[in-house]
Amino acid sequence: MSAATSGPLDRENGHVVVVGGGLATARLCTVLRRKKFAGPITVLSAEAVPPYDRPPLSKAVLAGDRDETPLPFDTAKLGADLRLSTRAIGLDPGTRTVRTDAGDVAYDALAIATGASPVRLPGDGPQHTLRTLDDALGLRKELVPGARVVIVGAGWIGAEVATAARSAGCRVSCVELGPEPLTGPLGEVAGAATRPWWAGIDLRTATAVRSVEPDGVHLADGAVLPADVVVSGVGVRPETGWLAGSGIATDRGILTDTRCRTGVPGVVALGDVAQRWSAHTGSHRLVEHWDDASTAATAAAASLLDWEQGPEHDPVPYFWSDQFGRKLQYVGAHHPADDLALDRTGDGALVRAIWSRDGVLTAWLGVDRSKDLVTARTAVGGPVSALA
């Protein structure tokens, strides 16, 4: 790392370019100004609209309670040049240039916050994914009473879409590869304890999908689930393709240290696209949650302003989901081999899950227990007995 590239950024004239137009970008620009950065900020966003919030898309927007979810992002107040419908297509760190579909943009310091894109299922049939406001508004139109809706994936997005579709009076099926809903994030035992919430939905677990065709969802065993609406909720891929050949190291996401720094001086990455080092887990972690995309902005901005100084960002992860009339909140990060203790209601449905290893609390999940969240988050990493 040369001295010329690793020193403090010129706070009056240095040019910060941010690629991406979502939450992480909005927060980063705000923090840069709060830290008295007075130089030009250029935001390159592939979207046609200013930054907005995504969690409500699968909740209030699908339910018809909201049509928009703007984030605070006042370009005049921030003094930011927001270039909408502008996609970054390449990066040359040698000349400090971002290539876009609307021409080259030079930078002194660069933040990458390009988020992630939903995985699509194979096949020629129409399928919805849910990432943008247009996706949510388009899907909402089709959630009409009696519509045969097949959701692929009983993860966070699948469960929230199932909630909205059932409320709208659709005939809902959900096909999940794992043995239980939410097996991926919660594991089989805790996931099984959410099964009672799926009443009225044709939930088919341990079922593989081959493709989506015009007549519906084709399963691996040859069966066909006829569908008017197909929604794929099988995960996302970090938006890193445009960085090919740039020298920015990627695994699934962009690899960074705990200060959001990539291996290329002057370039940070944050939000869903970043796979940041965590001392807690001793690994690079893809967090993909709202809280992290928001709070990482402080460390990322500090690194942009002074590459050698700044706070580390390695918080206890936090995620929430609103599904089937319940609020789920998860803090920490558990390993499938951790000990698990469940509190359930009389009908076996989940109230609380606690994961621990060698007597140390690794993660906590509460269902409608917001009042316990702060205590639980503070307790992660300490003795599990503190939560008894």
Ligand X SMILES: Cc1cc2nc3c(=O)[nH]c(=O)nc-3n(C[C@H](O)[C@H](O)[C@H](O)COP(=O)(O)OP(=O)(O)OC[C@H]3O[C@@H](n4cnc5c(N)ncnc54)[C@H](O)[C@@H]3O)c2cc1C
Binding site for ligand X (CB under 6 A): 19-25, 44-47, 54-55, 57-58, 87-88, 113-116, 130-131, 157, 239, 242, 271-272, 288-291, 293, 319-321
Greatest C-alpha distance within the chain: 65
Q: Which is nearer to ligand X, 116 or 192 (CB)?
A: 116
Q: How far is the CB of 275 from ligand X (least distance, A)?
A: 12
Q: How far is the CB of 64 from ligand X (least distance, A)?
A: 15
Q: How far is the CB of 245 from ligand X (least distance, A)?
A: 14
Q: Which is nearer to ligand X, 116 or 143 (CB)?
A: 116
Q: Which is nearer to ligand X, 218 or 290 (CB)?
A: 290
d(C-alpha 68, C-alpha 177), whole Å: 33
Place of tokens 């991926």: 184
Query: Beta 209-213 vs 216-219: how paired, if at all?
Result: antiparallel
Q: Which is nearer to ligand X, 54 or 218 (CB)?
A: 54
Q: How far is the CB of 345 from ligand X (least distance, A)?
A: 23
Q: Which is nearer to ligand X, 44 or 379 (CB)?
A: 44
Q: How far is the CB of 24 from ligand X (least distance, A)?
A: 3
- Which token pair is 116? 């992630």
Q: How far is the CB of 291 from ligand X (least distance, A)?
A: 6
Q: How far is the CB of 108 from ligand X (least distance, A)?
A: 19
Q: Which is nearer to ligand X, 86 or 207 (CB)?
A: 86
Q: How far is the CB of 201 from ligand X (least distance, A)?
A: 19
Q: Which is nearer to ligand X, 87 or 280 (CB)?
A: 87
Burial label for 263, CB within 10 Å (0-12, 13-18, 19+), is: middle
Q: How far is the CB of 326 from ligand X (least distance, A)?
A: 12
Q: Which is nearer to ligand X, 62 or 384 (CB)?
A: 62
SS (H, E, C) the chain: CCHHHHCECCCCCCCEEEECCCHHHHHHHHHHHHCCCCCCEEEECCCCCCCECCHHHHCHHHHCCCCCCECCCCHHHHCEEEECCCCEEEEECCCCEEEECCEEEECCEEEECCCEEECCCCCCCCCECCCCHHHHHHHHHHCCCCCEEEEECCCHHHHHHHHHHHHCCCEEEEECCCCCCCHHHHCHHHHHCCHHHHCCCEEECCCCEEEEECCEEEECCCCEEECCEEEECCCEEECCHHHCCCCCCECCCEEECCCCECCCCCEEECHHHEEEEECCCCEEEECCCHHHHHHHHHHHHHHHHECCCCCCCCCCCEEEEEECCEEEEEEECCCCCCEEEEEECCCCCEEEEEEEECCEEEEEEEECCHHHHHHHHHHCCCEHHHHC
Q: Which is nearer to ligand X, 302 or 384 (CB)?
A: 302
Q: Which is nearer to ligand X, 176 or 207 (CB)?
A: 176
Q: How far is the CB of 3 from ligand X (least distance, A)?
A: 31
How far apart, in Å, are the Cα atoms of 332 and each of 95, 112, 279, 286? Answer: 40, 25, 13, 13
